[in-house]
Structure 1
Amino acid sequence: MKILLESNTALKSYHDNYKVGTDMKNISKYLSGTILGLSIAAASGTASAESYVTIGTGGQTGTYYVVGQTICRLVNNLKDSDIKCNAPSTGGSVANINGIRSGDLDLGVAQSDVGFNAMLGLKQFDTKFDDLRSVFSMHGEPLTIVASTKSGIKSFDDLKGKRVNVGNPGSGQRATMDTLMSFKGLDFGYFSLASELTSTEQSSALSDNNIDAFTIVTGHPSGLIQEATTVTEAKIIPVEGDDIDQLIKKYPYYAKATIPGGLYKGNPNDINTYGVVATIVTDKDTPDDVIYAITKAVFTNLDRIKKIHPAFAHLTEANMVEDGLSAPLHEGAKRYYRERGWIE
């Protein structure tokens, strides 16, 4: 399949050892149309009365927001349950994990690399987050670099001296760019400008000629990239080569990925890159029955979820229970997976 993150067993080894359219109208269709049609059966193991759950997501034009809204719609329609769920827009992966740690969020969507760093107290995190727990994974998220055609950028090396948006601090795209630049022995001085715009600001910045290129880590197709390539002439730039192969070898939460041609205007060919996996994470102290109910709601309705957004189309139970889960499984998720015979 395309937008496919190829298998990487190193992360599993680490884990064992630890024991859209161009505007918001399309997102609205997902959230008020297909999702509204989801009607789910009662989840056994009813959570305690009035359990309020907040799921951190990302920018409102991004896939993380759709993920959170989808889960909350399912949870809020649970029969015989008093769980109430909301999924506000947030700054992204790092912000979500920090929110879980501080108690401001109960769950969050986070890139697999950011979860890995949080567990070990690396990169964006000063201390280890030993209580971080995985629930399940979602879609693959390739690093995607979009450059205006007039910039002349055709490869990563062409970004030198250009105006590039590297993402706002706390976002998954920024975390990925930090790792990539460091691995290459570079810093953001490599660019003439390293702007820190949020994901929702990037498309207009490109069309207004305030930047030459932007980076994003996202599932495809992406409404944001559709907007960018429709409003202005822009190309998706490959991120590949021997150094990327070595990067993937060193960091087991990464994998090679391919963005299919034809998804975006002016981009007819497949683009090779690499990426992470979007995961749902929580704290170990989040009640087991709450996580159990959320997990059951998602997997009971997986066929419907796969139709909500193209990025979800290739989700499988097997991948969701294993791929990219940098933190140990939460006990509530384990309970459901054992019932299904997916884990021992």
Structure 2
Amino acid sequence: MKKSLSVLLVLLLALSFIIAGCSSNQPAPDEGQADNAKKEAPAKQPEEQAAKETKLLMATGGTGGTYYPLGGAMAETWSNHIEGLKVTVQSTGASVENIRLLSNKQTELAMAMNGPAQAAVQGLGDFKEKVTNVAAIGVIYPEVMQVVTPQASGVQTIADLKGKRVSIGPPGSGTASAAVKILAAYGIDADKDITKFQDTFADAADKLKDGQLDAAFAVLAVPAANIIEISTATPVDIVDIDGDGLQKLLDSEPAFAPYEIPAGTYEGQDELGKTVAQWAVLYTQKELSDDLAYNLAKVMYENTDEIAAGHARGNQITLDNAIKGIKPVPFHPGAVKYYKEKGISVE
């Protein structure tokens, strides 16, 4: 009996050691896996991917003009060809406003006429202080001033606009800035000598058709769809900018150059139109990285067919015009690098 009791005690003691061993403080499998996971590189999260995307805002113009839809086509092309880049376009009052937006760092890219940009870096005209942080990427297309008048208005020259109802373009636009200078070259004060309207050209076109305006200034590509539309309902003339007034304008405003509109471009326009042009230019902030400025220039000039598929004016983006009318605005170093590769000197 005593022997059996001793055996039983030995068995119970052995069993207690086994149970103690099984319940020792070893890490649970899931804890061990968690420790190992901490040592592994974490998976890329969506917000980390988004952080690597570069977003640029581009100031353009009114939705009824050329800048806004053309800017949209350019933005899409850049986004398609430059990895990690997303360009968004913004409708604005156009050139003068756009340069101000750039100078205030409220946009990274801007389309603007070369004249207002030149005035900005010199602190002239619409700009009371010099703008110092703006640089040019390159010319987009020629900006042609077209002064449209119904044939029934009797307006034949710029001088004839005195005392007339004239739309000079939206406030803050390059059109309005240019119109004031053109009128002044012919001795007309835009604030005193005309009944001044400041419509978008889409609105001015309606007023011309309805007989509410005698003339409207518009900086548009040639031919301009809005002018074609007017001419189908109302015979129009393109008022010539020539003679002594033209010479005075060219002497005082070197951003302008003479430009001819072929006869027959518009219904009722039977003679060669004599006017002036400036250049639509892509501008940016000087702080933009050189690599990004380089790629913006490269993609813009080497994918014109793709841009033109989105807006017909894309076919006027050419390297032949790329550096015209830019100075004294400085070129961005990234754009200069691209031009040097193409054998174009900006000196």
TM range (shorter): 0.7 to 0.9
> Given residue 127 of structure 1, which amino acid in structure 2 is its aligned partner?
E
Query: Is contact 1:163-1:193 (8 Å) kept?
Result: yes
> Given residue 96 of structure 2, which amino acid in structure 1 is its aligned partner?
V
1:301: how far off? 1.1
TM-score by structure 1 length?
A: 0.80
Listed as ranges, the matches of 1:39-188 within 5 Å are 49-78=52-81, 81-188=83-190
Flag the 1:55–1:252 CA change in 2: closer, same or farther, 3 A. Answer: same
TM-score by structure 2 length?
A: 0.79
Q: Which residue of 1 aligns with 2:24?
A: none
> Given residue 340 of structure 2, which amino acid in structure 1 is its aligned partner?
R
Distance 2:260 2:315 in 1: 15
Structure 2 residue corresponding to 1:214, chosen from 198, 213, 216 = 216
Query: Is contact 2:260-2:273 (8 Å) kept?
Result: yes
Distance 2:184 2:163 in 1: 17
Distance 1:208 1:66 in 2: 27
User: Which stretch has the larger CA shift, 303-312 or 50-59?
Assistant: 303-312
Gaps of 5+ in 1: 1-47
Q: Which residue of 2 aligns with 1:321?
A: 323
Q: Which residue of 1 aligns with 2:265?
A: 263
Distance 1:66 1:154 in 2: 32
Flag the 1:323–1:67 CA change in 2: closer, same or farther, 3 A. Answer: farther
Q: Which residue of 2 aligns with 1:235?
A: 237
1:78: how far off? 1.6
Query: Is contact 1:60-1:200 (8 Å) kept?
Result: no
> Given residue 126 of structure 1, which amino acid in structure 2 is its aligned partner?
K
1:302: how far off? 3.0
Flag the 1:118–1:192 CA change in 2: closer, same or farther, 3 A. Answer: closer
Using CA pairs under 8 Å that are at least 6 residues apart, name the structure with larger relative contact order, 1 or 2: 1
The reply to whether residue 205 of structure 1 matches residue 207 of structure 2 is yes
Query: Is contact 1:136-1:325 (8 Å) kept?
Result: no
Query: Is contact 2:304-2:314 (8 Å) kept?
Result: no
Give secondary structure in 1 for the equivalent of 2:111: strand
Flag the 1:322–1:235 CA change in 2: closer, same or farther, 3 A. Answer: closer
User: Which stretch has the larger CA shift, 187-196 or 284-293?
Assistant: 187-196
Give secondary structure in 2 for the equivalent of 1:87: strand
Query: Is contact 2:118-2:326 (8 Å) kept?
Result: no
% of aligned pairs identical?
Answer: 29
**CA deviation profile, 1:309-341 (whole Å, cap 9, x unmatched):** 554545431321334454111122122222333
Distance 2:328 2:210 in 1: 39
1:124: how far off? 0.7
**CA deviation profile, 1:123-159 (whole Å, cap 9, x unmatched):** 1111101221110002212221101122111111221
Flag the 1:129–1:192 CA change in 2: closer, same or farther, 3 A. Answer: closer
How many pairs does the alignment contain? 296
> Given residue 58 of structure 1, which amino acid in structure 2 is its aligned partner?
G
Query: Is contact 1:220-1:310 (8 Å) kept?
Result: no
User: Which stretch has the larger CA shift, 282-291 or 189-198?
Assistant: 189-198
Listed as ranges, the matches of 1:248-327 within 5 Å are 248-305=250-307, 311-327=313-329
Q: Which residue of 1 aligns with 2:43?
A: none
User: Which stretch has the larger CA shift, 140-149 or 325-334?
Assistant: 325-334
> Given residue 274 of structure 1, which amino acid in structure 2 is its aligned partner?
V
Query: Is contact 2:185-2:248 (8 Å) kept?
Result: no
Distance 1:302 1:104 in 2: 27
Give secondary structure in 1 for the equivalent of 2:90: coil
